[in-house]
Amino acid sequence: MNPSSEGHNDRMIRRWLFADQLGPHFLDAPRQPVLLIESKSVFRRRAFHRQKAHLVLSALRHRAAELGDQAIFLRTDTYGEALRKVSGEPLDVCHPTSRRAREFVRGHDGVTVLPPRGFTTSPGDFVAWADGRHGRLRMEDFYRDARRRLDVLMDGDAPAGGTWNLDAENRQPPPSSGMPVPAPPMPVEDEIDEGVRADLDRWESEGIEFVGRDGPRLFPATRREALARLRHFVEHRLPAFGPYEDAMLAGDPWMAHSLLSAPLNLGLIDPLDAVHRAEAAYRSGAAPLSSVEGFVRQLIGWRDYIWHLYWYFGADYGAADGLRATRPVPSWFRALDADAVEARCLSDVLAGVRDRGWVHHIPRLMVLGNYALQRGWRPADLVDWFHRSFVDGYEWVMTANVVGMSQYADLGAMTTKPYAAGGAYINRMSDYCRGCRYDPRSRLGLNACPYTAGYWAFLDRNRGRLRGNARLGQAMRQLDRIDDLPAVRAQERDRGDEAP
Ligand SMILES: Cc1cc2nc3c(=O)[nH]c(=O)nc-3n(C[C@H](O)[C@H](O)[C@H](O)COP(=O)(O)OP(=O)(O)OC[C@H]3O[C@@H](n4cnc5c(N)ncnc54)[C@H](O)[C@@H]3O)c2cc1C
Ligand code: SF4
């Protein structure tokens, strides 16, 4: 809040809000004048998921409708064209979330760039923390620092409950009777959504391409919808979030996840507000510490860590390729062709991306990312694929999640080991393998699980690069004892990048 200008609409600079800066915390006062721009050329540059395009346009147009005559809302081909229409009036803008957008706003006379909002740690605090680590950046250390600094889940100087990390309690396989939580509330579409759908149909007929299937809007486009989802999550779903955080069920894409990444990344909710509500649930006894700590860790830990690493690691990080993964992402994967895939886990997860533009963290990391890592697909292509295919995908959140966490292309700059695993992991954490034509225990032969065989082939291919990793010591020793390794190697070479 800027106290000197609060409430004095006529003296306030007009705030240009990007389409991921839509909540009230991106304004200094409720009546601050606003500029909103809908640029069509963004959709010409790359083929986004149809439901992602819908969500972003719907959120922008809903915000414009809410603000009424407080906002100038311009629908143009490019940002530059829109800015020319308001030239002469000074603007300010909160730090945008991509390098390209930052360069653009910095290069415009009359536009003042303010510090970023919508995250919990400031750039200064992050850089001070990271510079003090002498090259050893670990999320757990950052998270503990953030807990203290933000005074979240702290009892004085000590972590609430006496421990920082309850991950060990939070790795349970899925319950056989299904998740003990009500389904999340879904938004109800209105005439703005109708208009968006008609425009997207028209754009498609003009040649603009999308991926995935259209469907009812599943993610909040307004602050009201976002708060309804947050309140419902904290009250009904948060208690089960922790224990089943890593589990997957074929018939339940949502599990007890919050489904808040899209509204958070649109800027509709302040992450610290979500954290405070979750902490209040713990303090009142409504949710166990394991779940609340797990959720808080995602928000002030992982989300901010990933955001700051995007800037801290610099522009070249996105092209990192420490494992020399050079194979192009195959067409069936790019086109979200789930029907071409027989491996039940991968087919179901790819269908989830095709039909909803969203799957939760473990399918992203251990089904999609794991498969790409094992096969040696190009990390930069995957960054682009994830960015385009997910409703919550933005460049800042893709880069470290895909290049670092999922593909280990930075050779451990942000994680301690690659997230590679065989079918045994997927079998333990899901109900997929029971109905699959492959056998998770088998690495050779017609029913050899592509993940199990792919895991050994991956370690074998990267022996030299991964040899020094202490956390892979046991797996490497096991690899050395596999007598049919040459046959597994040949089998996986033959399987190649065909849909498994
Ligand atoms: C390969 C890969 C790609 C990913 N792509 C995206 C993406 O495009 N957009 C995105 O927001 N998240 C991404 N994530 C992180 C995470 O998977 C999603 O934030 C989460 O699955 C969204 O579902 P949810 O809101 O129900 O999350 P929950 O499980 O309920 O978690 C709560 C919140 O924590 C935050 N969060 C948790 N982990 C991360 C993380 N690693 N990075 C950033 N935020 C995190 C999200 O805001 C999320 O809403 C990716 C992870 C991987 C491994
Ligand atoms: S057997 Fe392998 S391919 Fe089939 S569902 Fe299990 S992990 Fe996936």
Q: What is the pLDDT of residue 307?
A: 98
pLDDT of residue 409: 96
- Per-residue pLDDT of 481-499, as tens digits, reads 999 999 999 999 999 999 9
Does the CB atom of residue 357 touch ligand 1 within 6 A?
A: no
Whether residue 433 has its Cβ less than 6 Å from ligand 2: yes
Helix H or strand E segment including 15:
strand 14-17
Contact in structure between 39 and 76 (CB atoms under 8 Å): yes
Give me ligand 2 centre to Cα 356, in Å.
22
Q: Can you tell me the distance from the alpha carbon of 286 to that of 288, in angstroms, rounded to the nearest whole number?
A: 7
Q: What's residue 2's pLDDT?
A: 36
Mean pLDDT calculated for residue range 326-339 = 97
Which of 401, 406, 408 is the best mutation target for the ligand 1 pocket, counting ligand atoms within 8 Å of the beta carbon and taking the most?
A: 401
DSSP 177-229: T--SSPPPPPP---HHHHHHHHHHHHHHHTT--EES---S--S--SHHHHHHH
Predicted local distance difference test score (pLDDT) of residue 135: 76
Per-residue pLDDT at 38: 97
Q: Between these two residues, 484 and 7, which has the higher pLDDT value?
A: 484
- pLDDT for residue 311: 97
Residue nearest atom 10 of ligand 1, based on CA coordinates: 392
DSSP string covering 359-423, please? --HHIIIIIIIHHHHHHTB-HHHHHHHHHHH-TT--HHHHIIIIIIIIT-TTSSSS-SS-----H
pLDDT of residue 10: 52
Instruction: Please state the atom number of ligand 2 nearest to the C-alpha of residue 439.
Output: 1
pLDDT the model gives residue 126: 97
Report the C-alpha gap between 198 and 54 in whole angstroms.
10
pLDDT of res. 7:
39
Alpha carbon nearest to ligand 1 atom 24, residue: 259
Cα separation of 90 and 111, whole Å?
6
E-only strand ranges, 61-174: 71-76, 91-94, 111-114, 154-155, 158-159
What pTM did the predictor assign? 0.95
Q: Is the pLDDT of residue 4 over 80?
A: no
CA angle, residues 442, 448, 451, in degrees to nearest 5: 90
Q: How many angstroms does the Cα of residue 303 sit away from the middle of ligand 1? A: 7
Check whether 8 has a pLDDT greater than 80.
Answer: no
Q: Would you say residue 369 has pLDDT above 60?
A: yes
Counting ligands in written order, the one closest to the CA of 349 is 2
Q: Which atom of ligand 2 is nearest to the CA of 452?
A: 2
Q: Which of 374, 431, 432, 495 to mutate to test the pocket of ligand 2 (most atoms within 8 A of CB)?
A: 432
Tell me what the pLDDT averaged over the chain comes to.
Answer: 94
Buried b (16+ CB within 10 A) or exposed e, 381-408: bbbbbbbbbbbbbbbbbbbbbbbbbbbb
pLDDT of residue 136: 83
In this prediction, residues 453-460 reach a mean pLDDT of: 97
What would the pLDDT profile of 147-190 be if each residue is shown by its tens digit?
999 999 999 999 999 999 888 888 899 998 888 899 999 999 99
Contact 358, 449 (CB under 8 A): no
* CA–CA distances in Å: residue 68 to residues 71, 140, 294: 6, 44, 39
Segment 58-96, tens digit of pLDDT: 999 999 999 999 999 999 999 999 999 998 899 999 999
- The dihedral region occupied by 2, where left means phi > 0, alpha psi between -120 and 50, and beta the remainder, is beta
